[in-house]
Structure formats: structure tokens, C-alpha cells
Amino acid sequence: MSYVTYTTEALVCGSFDQNTADKSFLLFTRDAGMLFATARSVREERSLQRPALQDFSRIRVSLIKGKTGWRVGSVEALQNDFSLATDRQMRSSVVLIYRTLRRFIRGEEASPELFAFVVAALDVSLGVPIERQLFDSAVQVRILALLGYVDKQEMPSAVGNAEVIDLALLHDLALTVSLTELIAKATENSHL
């Protein structure tokens, strides 16, 4: 019996040890959504996949759908967002984005628009110096809106309309308050 191999880009949102040298990874993929995939012997020192499969990494991965779930085939490291962050605030933005994905995405449902937005938001958060609290809130609200937790009509235009969040429009204290309220409301609605 032959198995089908899917090659896609993914974000490593978490990892869990299994057995002696195996590890399970929570991957947010462009083409299959959030899924668990197992890699054999990845915790051994001689493993060639270990450097690529670190938490907070962007990877290109070949996944094999088997009887018992997804398996990791080959892996190519693109970058590690956490290690590219130069200061504490950048690292906290990266962690917040990954935590939001891990908390609110459930199931294997493709969402290329959300994946593209998250990658763009990670690039922006690692780039120019920005107002971190406002940026983090805006990214969270946009992710929640793309997942259906926030009504798009309630979102401020600076957050909801553009492909990537417009940093020039994110300098308003009232916007921070409204974004914080939207996040609280969405968290209540998620029942988590």
C-alpha cells in the first residue's frame, strides 16, 4: 500500500516527547491547518531533522498520512522566529502569535489566508521597531477574526481591511482599548 506525501510550509507551534527518541509536533500548515505529526528518532544527537524542528520555526515539510496519523518525512528549515528576535519585546510578540494559534485553531482545516497573515505579521514583528502592545493586540484580533471568533464589522478599519496590519494607523490609545475588549470577548466566546 502506498501512502500519499504532502509537501507544505508549516509553523512549529509546539512539541511533545514520545517514547525514547520520538517526538510529536503541533504544526500549523498552509494546506492542512493545525495537525499533530510524529517524527521518529528526532531527539537523538545524530538526527538531521532536529535542528529544523525546533519550536517557533518556519519549515518546509513533507508529511505522510498513515493509518495512525501524520508522520514527518523530510524537513527543510526556513527560519526560527524566536532566535531572530533581537530583544525581549520581539520575542514576546513571537511567542504571543504562536500561543494564539495554538489556543484557538482546532482541527485540520486549510486556511491559506490565515497562514499568509501570520507569516506577514511575524515578519513585521521581527522588522521595524513598533508599538508592541498595540501591534500584538491588533494581530490577535485579526487572527481571531479570520478564525470566526470576532465579528469583522466590530473591528477597527486599521486592523480589518488591509492585507497586513497598517503600522501607521496603529497609534491610537482608543484603538488599544477597543482591541483589548474584542480579545476578551472572543476569549469568553471560545469557552477555553
Q: Looking at the structure, do residues 41 and 74 belong to the same domain, yes or no?
A: yes
Integer Cα distance of 61 and 157 in angstroms: 36
Determine the pLDDT at residue 28.
96
pTM beyond 0.85, yes or no: no
Integer Cα distance of 110 and 144 in angstroms: 16
Long-range Cβ pairs for the range 21-25 (8 Å, 24+): 21/47, 23/53, 25/53, 25/72
pLDDT of 27 over the 90 cut: yes
Q: Which triple of cell numbers denotes residue 57? A: 520555526
pLDDT digits (tens, 9 = 90+) for 100-146: 999 999 888 889 999 998 998 898 888 766 678 878 888 888 888 88
Determine the pLDDT at residue 137.
82
The number of distinct structural domains making up the chain is 2
Per the CB < 8 A criterion, the answer to whether 23 and 70 are in contact is: no
Determine the pLDDT at residue 191.
56
Domain boundary among 63, 81, 99: 81
Q: What is the CATH number of the domain that holds 77?
A: 2.40.50.140
pLDDT digits (tens, 9 = 90+) for 138-158: 888 888 888 888 777 666 655
Q: Looking at the structure, do residues 90 and 44 belong to the same domain, yes or no?
A: no
Determine the pLDDT at residue 151.
74
Average pLDDT value for the chain: 82
Q: Looking at the structure, do residues 138 and 173 belong to the same domain, yes or no?
A: yes
Range of the domain at 21: 5-81
pLDDT digits (tens, 9 = 90+) for 28-69: 999 899 999 989 888 888 888 888 889 999 999 999 998 888
Domain boundary among 58, 81, 104: 81
Nearest to 14 by CA among 57, 62, 75, 61: 57
Determine the pLDDT at residue 132.
81
